[in-house]
Chain A
Amino acid sequence: MAAWQNLVNFLGPDLARIVVGVVGVLALVQVNALFLVWLERKVAAHIQLRIGPKEVGPFGILQSIVDGIKLVGKELITPRHADRKLFMLAPIAVFLPVLVSFVVIPFSERLLIRDMNVGVLLIFAFSTFNVLAVLVGGWASNNKYSLLGAVRAVAQNVAYEIPLLLAVLSVVMWSNSLQMSEIVASQSKVWHVFSMPVATLIFLICATAETNRAPFDIPEAESELVAGFHTEYSGMRFALFFLAEYSNMLIVSAVATTLFFGGWKSPPFLGFLPVPGLIWFFAKTYALIFVTIWVRWTFPRLRFDQLMNFCWKIMIPAALLHLVVYAGIIKIVR
């Protein structure tokens, strides 16, 4: 305890918060990925009337740790004609937004690294680097499947970012703030999922597309593109892409929880239960993640033209209309 106190004194409150926060986020990201890989395989198996991983540990829960060790041991292969610098840079860049985004997510009333007044914006500004990493990785691999996957990823991400941001904008207008904690506070009576269900739906659909999850997984469509943009990556570099993908699922679900499902607040009718906010937050987040996995194993993959038409012809007009209608409602209510 004394050593701990010394460390905090040495770093000062701000720096100590950042160091502890980053270490905590790194731990959370790893554990989350291990858990989600296992959960995904288990859920997929049960949906397809199989059992899934069962050999390693009870219910196969240690399976992803074993997989992780296998990945660490694998050789890092760089294709001969790949662009070496960018090929190495891409898996690192894909991880940057993951680290930054967790800084502003309020896990509970007290537990957040930094309560910035532009919190929502921070997450969406840095999610750009994710697209960028996919693009650079796909291009640097010098493989036609990788390049096609990367081009598809960008087309899809750029398109679906528009309705996503428009949906978030109506939440921001309603809570009158870009600060995550204030958005949570504005939902103390009614969660935004009930006051603006259309925005919630738009957000969840676009978030699925942004994280390249099925039915929007054409950037890595196995049946057409081998593995899409990460075809040429092996070992830990591949693992980093994978880790980022599962962390992005967590981020997107955590953001959805914060923006639409009341964040760390308990449901109003269960307010008497002595359950800490952290538990509620993770319960809601992982419930949303479960829905994403469920959707992935239920719906078939869309064709590229269907995907783009759906975004430009349905989602964007719907999101724009929603924004205008809600701006009117807010003007009248206030």
Chain B
Amino acid sequence: MNSVQSLIQPQVLAQIGFAGIVALTLTGALIAVFPRNILYNILGLIVCLTGVAGIFVYLGSPFIALMELLIYVGAICISIIFAIMLSRPLHLSLPKRRLPKVGLALGVGAAVFIMLSAIISRTEWQPAATRSSDWSVATLGAYLLTRYDLVFEVISLVLLVAILGAIIISGYARRSPS
């Protein structure tokens, strides 16, 4: 039969899609870290988080993907950008990259990476077939308000941290106008 499925296997297409999403996420992450223009960093972060949302879609949970967009891109990134727009003008000379700061950032990043990989490698992953396939919005809602109640509350701290961070970045510019 002459159809698009005979030209490209659906599995191959799915893998290409996955590779695309991962590439998007990693590109976004790199843009978020390396350019010296702070607005580019945030836009990179947005690309990265959109990629993460794509991974959730790929895993079959569009609800989580949309929440990712709504909360992380919609609320957090927009509020960060908003604070940064009110901060120091970009044509002023940038503060230099200080070695202790870079080292500290690398250290924290490495610690988080090690912790996450330790958790991931210790978890006993079950094949998808044996797990519950009921990921409807109602189930997720029930989980969030019962079993994962504390996690849910702790996550809301992220917003607080984002706002505080943005205030510190913009407040820093006001304190040293030189």
Listed in ascending order, the chain A residues whose CB lies under 8 Å from chain B are 9-12, 15, 86, 116-118, 121-122, 124-126, 128-129, 131-132, 135-136, 139, 147, 150-151, 154-155, 158, 161, 178
Contact = CB atoms under 8 A, between A and B. Distances in A.
Nearest to A135: B81
Contacts of B1: 9
Given A131-B74, A158-B75, 14 more contacts: A10-B3, A118-B62, A121-B66, A121-B67, A122-B62, A125-B70, A126-B69, A128-B69, A139-B39, A154-B78, A154-B81, A155-B82, A161-B74, A178-B137
Interface string B9-46: 00000000000000000000000000000010001001
Contacts of B136: 117
Q: Is the interface of A mostly helix, strand, loop or mixed?
A: helix
A42 B14 CA distance: 50
B31 to A, nearest CB: 11
Contacts, number: 73
B70 A121 contact: yes
Nearest to B136: A117
B69 A118 contact: no
Contact of A118 (B5, B63, B79): B63
Given A150-B85, A151-B82, A11 B4 contact: yes
A200 to B, nearest CB: 22
**What band does the interface of chain B fall in when counting residues whose beta carbon is under 8 Å from A?**
20 to 34
A116 B70 CA distance: 17
A9 B63 CA distance: 31
Q: Is the interface of B mostly helix, strand, loop or mixed?
A: helix
Nearest to A9: B3
B40 to A, nearest CB: 8
Contacts of A151: 82, 85-86
Contacts of B66: 118, 121-122, 125
A12 B39 CA distance: 42
Contact of A117 (B3, B70, B137): B137
Given A15-B4, A178-B137, A128 B74 contact: yes
B2 interface: yes
Contacts of A132: 46, 73, 77-78, 81
A298 to B, nearest CB: 31
A144 to B, nearest CB: 11
A123 to B, nearest CB: 10
A132 B43 CA distance: 9
A118 B4 contact: no
Interface string B66-98: 110110011101110110011000000000000
Given A124-B70, A125-B69, A128-B74, A12 B79 contact: no
Contact of B79 (A139, A150, A158): A158
B141 to A, nearest CB: 11
A172 to B, nearest CB: 10
